[in-house]
Amino acid sequence: MKAGLERWLLRRWYGGVAPGPGLRLLSLVYAGVLRLDRALYRRGLRKVHHLRVPVIVIGNLVAGGTGKTR
């Protein structure tokens, strides 16, 4: 089952195949949730937490490699 799902996702991601209606709907739902979250922060309904120490954020860090080698 996993191999079939993985193959399907890879075709959608790298193969130039347009996402189906389910994935497009899911992206709209996700975008709506993000907009709602941002609006709640802007209106003060969600609290912003300030830390006393500096924070360094490292993006795209993967432990154990990225899985590109086969």
Residue 45 in any domain: the answer is yes
Q: Does the model's pTM come out above 0.75?
A: no
- Overall number of domains in the chain: 1
The answer as to whether 56 is a domain residue is no
pLDDT of residue 64: 61
Contact 46, 40 (CB under 8 A): yes
29 is a domain residue: yes
Residue 60 placed within a domain: no
Condensed to tens digits (0 to 9), the pLDDT of residues 28-61 reads 999 999 999 999 999 999 999 899 999 988 777 6
Report how far residue 32's alpha carbon sits from residue 42's, in angstroms, rounded to the nearest whole number.
15
Assess if residue 55 is contained within a domain.
Answer: no
Helix (H, G, I), strand (E, B) or coil at 32: helix
* Any domain includes 1: no
Domain hosting residue 36, numbered range: 19-50
62 lies in a domain?
A: no
